Amino acid sequence: MKKPLKSKPPRNAEFAFNRTLRFLTVRPRSQWEVLQYLLIRLKVDDASAQSVLSRVQHLNFVNDAAFAAWWIDKALRQKQRSLAVLYQELKAKHLAEEIIDSAIKQVIGSESRSTFDLSNAIGLLERRRRLWTNLESEERVKKTYGFLARRGFSFDVARAAVKRFDNIGYDFVQ
C-alpha cells in the first residue's frame, strides 16, 4: 500500500527570510533579484515577499547602490568590458539609472567615460598582444577590432585604442 504524500507546509515569511539570507550569502543581490527569488523560486505571496525584502533591506543585506558598485568593480577586475555593457547589465538587474550613473562616476572618478573605456581597451590589447604578433597586419587589425567589439567597446574607442597601441610600438596598424 502506498503512503500518502506529505503535503508541504505553507511557506511563511520566516521560512522565506531564512532562505533569502542563504541566497544573499553567495553574492550581493539587487532588490529586484531578491524579489524575483521570493516570488518565483520560493513562491511566497506578495505581502510576505515585500515583508522579507524590507527586513533584509533594514539589515542592510540588500542595497542597490552597493550592489552596483560591487558589480562594476567585479566586472572590471574579471573580464573587462566597456561601461556601456556594464550599464546594460545593471539595467537588466532593474537598477535605477541614477544609481547606475553614480556607481559608474564613483569608479571612473574625474575621467570621461570614453577616456576610461579607451584605457580599458588599451589594457585589454596589452594582455592579448602576444596572440596576434604572428598574424598578418590586416588579420591582426580585424581580430583586434572584433575582440574589442565583443567586449562592448564602440568603433571609435576601438580605433583609438588600436592607433594608440600602434604608437607604443607594437606595429598593430599600418
Q: In CATH terms, is domain 113-170 a member of 1.10.10?
A: yes
- Of these ranges, 2-6, 16-20, 128-132, the one predicted with the greatest mean pLDDT is 16-20
- Report d(CA 162, CA 95) in Å as an integer: 33
Gap between the Cα atoms of 125 and 158, Å rounded: 10
- Residue 164's pLDDT is 81
Q: What is the mean pLDDT of residues 89-114?
A: 92
Q: Give how far Cα 4 sits from Cα of 1, 7, 11, 102, 117, Å.
A: 9, 9, 21, 56, 62
Contact 14, 52 (CB under 8 A): no
Q: Is the pLDDT of residue 6 over 70?
A: no
Predicted local distance difference test score (pLDDT) of residue 31 = 96
- Which run of H or of E encompasses 77? helix 64-78
For residue range 27-36, what is the model confidence (pLDDT) as tens digits?
999 999 999 9
* Over residues 121-129, mean pLDDT: 87
**How high does pLDDT run on average in the chain?**
87
Output the nine-digit C-alpha cell for 103: 556607481
Q: Looking at residue 153, what is its pLDDT?
A: 93
Mean pLDDT on 148-166: 89
- Sort 107 into a burial class: Cβ within 10 Å, 0-12 / 13-18 / 19+: middle
Alpha carbon distance, N-terminus to C-terminus of the chain: 82
Q: Where are the domains of the chain?
A: 13-58, 64-108, 113-170
Predicted TM-score (pTM) of the model is 0.78
pLDDT in tens, 84-100: 999 999 999 999 999 99
